[in-house]
């Protein structure tokens, strides 16, 4: 074991996303005014992004709220983000949790991830690692890479679940294959230490190399590894890196 510290847990909230038409269609405005949730949601996106109208967070909140109250999960998620960030409304973690939960219970993966973050950090709810794991897992099962990373960290550290290196490796690998640098780095450390996988310097170097290509600071880790590897092995690890990138072109 070479005592390379693992990457930190990703705790940033996912921001609202989406797109709308380039300008406000009078018919869209009419439908929104008449209570059509999809039109209300699209109008909110336009105000939130300044697409076709002056950017106006308060107007975005107004239309997100109307759509959210009609049960639109995307609107509920985005309204939660507005409350979490204090955009168009005073920052209010409890209100953010309320709207994330409504969307998460409808299966919205982004809301599930954000709700996990809120529980992990005690924002708007009492800190609860088990609840964080519950929501991370639901989001991770839907392919949210940050949730996969965070779930891996929970298993790695035994937070909210029994410590389980094999499970940590499983979730790190899923996030790593989506190009998440911290997951690639952590996976490299697992291979370096033989935690959940057989110890393998070549794979350790490969994953840490990939993390570096994705912007993670790997200089100290690579120096530690290189001291215990031959130049031939380093060359093999670099070739493994090149082959992985060739086989997975979207990972960098």
User: Which pLDDT does position 3 carry in this prediction?
Assistant: 53
E strands within the chain? none
Angle at 126 between CA 121 and CA 127, to 5 degrees: 35
Q: What letter does residue 181 receive in the DSSP assignment? A: H
Q: Do 143 and 171 touch, CB atoms closer than 8 A? A: no
Distance between CA atoms of 218 and 208, rounded to whole angstroms? 7
Whether the CA torsion 82, 84, 87, 89 is positive or negative: it is positive
The domains of the chain, with CATH numbers, are 1-127 (1.25.40.10), 148-252 (1.25.40.10)
Instruction: Please list the pLDDT of the chain residue by residue as tens digits (252 residues).
Output: 345 666 545 554 555 444 444 467 788 989 999 999 999 999 999 999 998 899 999 999 999 999 999 999 999 999 999 999 999 999 999 999 999 999 999 999 999 999 999 999 999 999 999 999 999 999 999 999 999 999 999 999 999 999 999 999 999 999 999 999 999 999 999 999 999 999 999 999 999 999 999 999 999 999 999 999 999 999 999 999 999 999 999 899
Q: What is the pLDDT of residue 89?
A: 98
Q: What is the 3-state secondary structure (H, E, C) of 96-144?
A: HHHHHHHHHCCCCHHHHHHHHHHHHHCCCCCCCHHHHHHHHHHHHHCCC
Distance between CA atoms of 182 and 190, rounded to whole angstroms?
Answer: 12
Which among 73, 140, 147 is positioned nearest to 104, based on CA atoms?
A: 73
Find out whether 146 and 14 touch, Cβ atoms under 8 Å.
yes
Give the C-alpha separation, 173 to 164, whole Å. 14
CA 56 vs CA 49, 61, 81, 187, 211: distances in Å: 8, 9, 15, 42, 38
């Amino acid at each position: 074991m070479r005592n390379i510290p693992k990457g930190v847990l990703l705790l940033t909230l996912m921001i609202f996303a989406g797109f709308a038409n380039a300008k406000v269609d009078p018919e869209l405005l009419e439908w929104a005014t008449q209570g059509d949730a999809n039109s209300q949601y699209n109008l909110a996106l336009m105000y939130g992004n300044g697409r076709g109208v002056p950017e106006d967070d308060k107007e975005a909140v107004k239309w997100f709220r109307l759509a959210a109250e009609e049960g639109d999960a995307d609107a509920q998620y985005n309204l939660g983000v507005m409350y979490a960030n204090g955009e168009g409304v005073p920052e209010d973690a409890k209100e953010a949790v309320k709207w994330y939960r409504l969307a998460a219970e409808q299966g919205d993966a982004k809301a599930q991830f954000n709700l996990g973050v809120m529980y992990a950090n005690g924002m708007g709810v009492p800190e609860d690692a088990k609840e964080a794991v519950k929501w991370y897992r639901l989001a991770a099962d839907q392919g949210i890479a940050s949730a996969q990373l965070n779930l891996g960290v929970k298993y790695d550290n035994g937070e909210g679940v029994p410590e389980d290196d094999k499970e940590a490796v499983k979730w790190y690998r899923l996030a790593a294959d989506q190009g998440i640098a911290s997951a690639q780095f952590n996976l490299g450390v697992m291979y370096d230490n033989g935690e959940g996988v057989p110890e393998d310097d070549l794979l350790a170097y490969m994953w840490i190399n990939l993390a570096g290509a994705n912007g993670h600071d790997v200089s100290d880790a690579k120096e530690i590894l290189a001291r215990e590897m031959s130049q031939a092995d380093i060359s093999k690890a670099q070739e493994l890196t090149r082959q992985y990138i060739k086989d997975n072109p979207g990972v960098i």
